[in-house]
């Protein structure tokens, strides 16, 4: 039986004694364990160690050895179960369930920011994790291509015509910055921008055409970024696709009494929070209008069990409002805002409005250059490996941190030792090389490699936990620990020539390769 089913069965058996049966996974105490005896004993004033012994006897589960220790019970897979889980390490049954994962969502005419990088990296990982666990997954890109800011940009482009074909994002960005500078002196420009956006929504052909040029040039730039990051195909769910229906929905919800008028705007009240705005008093839609429609549409289109939005924590309030209203409108999927903190570049937060911008492309290119130097010193000079290591390092540094925390972009991420991507990749390369020596020998586990074997099997729990909590860092940290344990094993044991060790090492590779894949990271050929 698979380890996760053994966990479930054990917890079910334990539930007859208490209703709090979450299990804790203690690193070196069993394959999993529970502190339930301690908790029950405390409540009843009994001795925890005695209770642990008696509970361990009462909850026999086939495939497990239960070892009471103090107030805990530690569970160990028996040999058969361990072999079974190792052999089928990465097998998961197909689920008839769909997860819609929305991530990336950059804004046209603006650089792909570090925030969008985080969304892309975290979202891609979450999507792959669902996929790995047998779900059907859909990735959506809610590209920011609509809104008053395009009114501003269009006004600026009309006033200061520029050649935007060569370096579109930089040119459009400077137009945007210039607009803000000028508008500070001449606030009338803001009104012009509003009128311009209204015309865009009303379908003015000429304006729409210019907007399309901005959009297409920007999408091309984004595609470059996705190619570098090896992001899976995302469905185009751009904001512009949803404003029309937004207008209709505002009218309908008004009629139904779900929405109401407030100072000329159409709003939906949200308990204890500011209302969600559906239409501004000038009759145009806003971000939340389009987000609401896009939410309803994806639910209708895919009938998903789960809908997640991978967007920075600065939009927490927006998603509280949005998800509340979506629920009210009978969108019955389990919806989650997967928030994350900021990634700070050493220079501080980036802002497009102030115009002092660090371009992500440049940051990634610098990462590659640095890796190239490191690799040359090691006598390796292979472009594709350099890319895998550079991008892998950036992704790993992002993903190993609990996503709600801020992360500091620090070149330490490129080091081959420490809690880094290259460290895990290196362990994988090494495990691959040695594991490949295992031919068709008989598979078995030895006392010298049982600890490592158990750690390998824990991959399954790490992936399941990462999905449950929508937290790839759980998996990233597991991979770190497995790499460390494998490196200890490698230093201590003579692996070559020992069939059991070679087999286990091939399993280390399988766990690392699959785990890294779930983080969107590839294993280089040589390091």
Which chain residues interact with ligand ARG by CB under 6 A?
Answer: 102, 105, 107, 142, 144, 291, 309, 311
Nearest to 480 by CA among 418, 430, 429: 418
SS3 184: helix
Q: Which of 160, 173, 159 is nearest to 214 (CA)?
A: 173
Q: How far is the CB of 68 from ligand ARG (least distance, A)?
A: 49
The answer to whether the CB of 239 falls within 8 A of the CB of 146 is yes
Distance CA 122, CA 311 (A): 10
Determine the Cα–Cα distance for residues 18 and 39; give it in Å rounded to an integer.
Answer: 9
Residue 221 or residue 291: which is nearer to ligand ARG going by CB? 291
C-beta closer to ligand ARG: residue 312 or 515: 312
Query: Please, which residue, 15 or 351, has the CB nearer to ligand ARG?
Result: 351
Say whether 449 sits in a helix, a strand or coil: coil
- Least spacing, CB of residue 507 vs ligand ARG, in Å: 39
Cβ 139 to ligand ARG shortest distance, Å: 13
Sheet of 260-262: strand order equals: 260-262, 265-270, 273-279
CB of residue 123 vs ligand ARG: minimum separation in angstroms? Answer: 10
39 or 180: CB nearest ligand ARG: 180
How far is 164 from 157, CA to CA, in rounded Å? 10
CB of 358 to ligand ARG, least distance (A): 17
Question: What Cα–Cα distance (Å) separates residue 404 from each residue in 312, 346, 398?
Answer: 9, 19, 11
Shortest distance, position 195 Cβ to ligand ARG, whole Å: 24
* Closest CB to ligand ARG: residue number: 144
Instruction: Find out whether 33 and 23 touch, Cβ atoms under 8 Å.
Output: yes
d(C-alpha 175, C-alpha 355), whole Å: 10
- What CA dihedral angle connects 349, 353, 355 and 357, to 10 degrees? 30
Least distance in angstroms from the C-beta of 335 to ligand ARG: 11
CB 73 within 8 A of CB 11: no
Q: Which is nearer to ligand ARG, 102 or 385 (CB)?
A: 102
Question: Nearer to ligand ARG by C-beta: 310 or 463?
Answer: 310
Residue with Cβ nearer ligand ARG (107 or 120): 107
Whole-angstrom Cα distance, residue 51 to residue 58?
10
Contact 429, 524 (CB under 8 A): yes
Of 37 and 106, which has the nearer Cβ to ligand ARG?
Answer: 106
Distance CA 374, CA 287 (A): 45
Rounded to whole angstroms, the Cα distance separating 35 from 58 reads 16
The H-or-E segment that residue 482 falls in is helix 472-492
Measured from the CB atom, the residue of 222 and 309 that comes closer to ligand ARG is 309
Cβ 291 to ligand ARG, closest distance in Å?
A: 5
Edge-to-edge order in the sheet of strand 32-34:
32-34, 72-77, 64-69
Q: Quick one: 296 or 475, whose CB is closer to ligand ARG?
A: 296
Least distance from ligand ARG to the Cβ atom of residue 316, Å: 12
**Closest separation in Å from C-beta 525 to ligand ARG:** 36
Contacts of 57 (CB under 8 A, 6+ apart): none
| Closer residue to ligand ARG, CB minimum distance, 76 or 309 | 309
Q: Whose Cβ is closer to ligand ARG: residue 35's or residue 149's?
A: 149
Cβ 237 to ligand ARG, closest distance in Å?
A: 8
Strands 343-344 and 407-408: parallel
Q: Which residues have CB under 8 Å from 521's CB, separation 6+? A: 388, 391, 392, 395, 396, 421, 424, 425
Q: Which is nearer to ligand ARG, 112 or 132 (CB)?
A: 112
Helix (H, G, I), strand (E, B) or coil at 275: strand
Distance set, CA 341 to CA 114, 229, 495 (Å): 11, 20, 42
CB 107 → ligand ARG: shortest distance, Å?
5
CB of 287 to ligand ARG, least distance (A): 7
Please calculate the CA angle 374-379-382 and round it to the nearest 5 degrees. Answer: 80
């Amino acid at each position: 039986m698979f380890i996760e089913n053994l966990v479930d069965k054990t917890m079910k058996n334990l539930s007859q004694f208490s209703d709090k049966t979450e299990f804790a996974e203690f690193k070196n105490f069993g394959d999993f364990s529970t502190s339930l005896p301690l908790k029950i004993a405390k409540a009843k004033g009994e001795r925890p160690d005695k209770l642990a012994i008696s509970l361990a006897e009462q909850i026999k589960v086939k495939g497990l050895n239960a070892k009471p220790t103090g107030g805990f019970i530690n569970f160990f897979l028996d040999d058969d179960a361990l072999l079974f889980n190792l052999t089928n390490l990465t097998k998961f049954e197909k689920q008839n369930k769909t997860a819609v994962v929305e991530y990336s969502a950059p804004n046209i005419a603006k650089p792909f920011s570090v925030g969008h990088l985080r969304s892309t990296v975290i979202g891609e990982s979450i999507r792959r994790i669902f996929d790995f666990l047998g779900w059907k997954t859909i990735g959506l890109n809610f590209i920011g291509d609509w809104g008053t800011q395009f009114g501003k940009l269009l006004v600026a482009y009309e006033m200061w015509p520029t050649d935007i074909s060569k370096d579109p994002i930089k040119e459009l960005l400077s137009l945007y910055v210039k607009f803000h500078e000028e508008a500070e002196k001449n606030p009338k420009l803001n009104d012009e921008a509003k009128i311009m956006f209204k015309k865009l929504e009303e379908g003015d052909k000429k304006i729409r055409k210019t907007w399309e040029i901005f959009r297409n040039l920007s999408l091309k730039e984004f595609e470059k970024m996705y190619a570098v990051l090896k992001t899976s195909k995302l469905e185009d769910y751009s904001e512009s696709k949803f404003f029309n229906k937004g207008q209709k929905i505002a009218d309908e919800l008004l009629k139904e009494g779900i929405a109401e008028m407030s100072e000329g705007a159409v709003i939906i009240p949200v308990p204890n929070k500011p209302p969600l705005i559906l239409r501004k008093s000038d009759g145009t839609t806003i971000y939340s209008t389009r987000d609401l429609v896009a939410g309803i549409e994806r639910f209708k289109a895919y009938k998903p069990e789960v809908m997640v939005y991978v967007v920075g924590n600065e939009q927490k309030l927006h998603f509280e409002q949005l998800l509340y209203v979506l629920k009210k409108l009978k969108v019955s999927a389990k919806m989650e805002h997967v928030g994350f903190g900021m990634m700070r570049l050493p220079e501080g937060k980036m802002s497009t409005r102030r115009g002092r911008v660090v371009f992500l492309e440049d940051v990634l290119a610098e990462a590659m250059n640095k890796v190239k130097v490191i690799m040359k010193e090691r006598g390796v000079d292979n472009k594709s490996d350099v890319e895998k290591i550079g991008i892998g390092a950036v992704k790993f540094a992002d993903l190993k941190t609990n996503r709600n925390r801020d992360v500091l972009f620090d070149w330490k991420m490129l080091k081959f030792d420490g809690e880094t991507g290259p460290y895990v990749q290196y362990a994988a390369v090494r495990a691959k090389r040695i594991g490949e020596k295992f031919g068709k020998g008989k598979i078995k586990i030895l006392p010298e490699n049982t600890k490592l074997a158990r750690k390998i099997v824990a991959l399954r729990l790490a992936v399941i936990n990462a999905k449950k909590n929508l937290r790839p860092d759980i998996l990233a940290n597991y991979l770190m620990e497995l790499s460390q344990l494998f490196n200890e094993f490698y230093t201590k044991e003579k692996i070559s020539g020992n069939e059991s060790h070679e087999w286990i090492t091939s399993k280390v590779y399988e766990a690392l390769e699959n785990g890294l894949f779930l983080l969107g990271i590839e294993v280089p050929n040589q390091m």
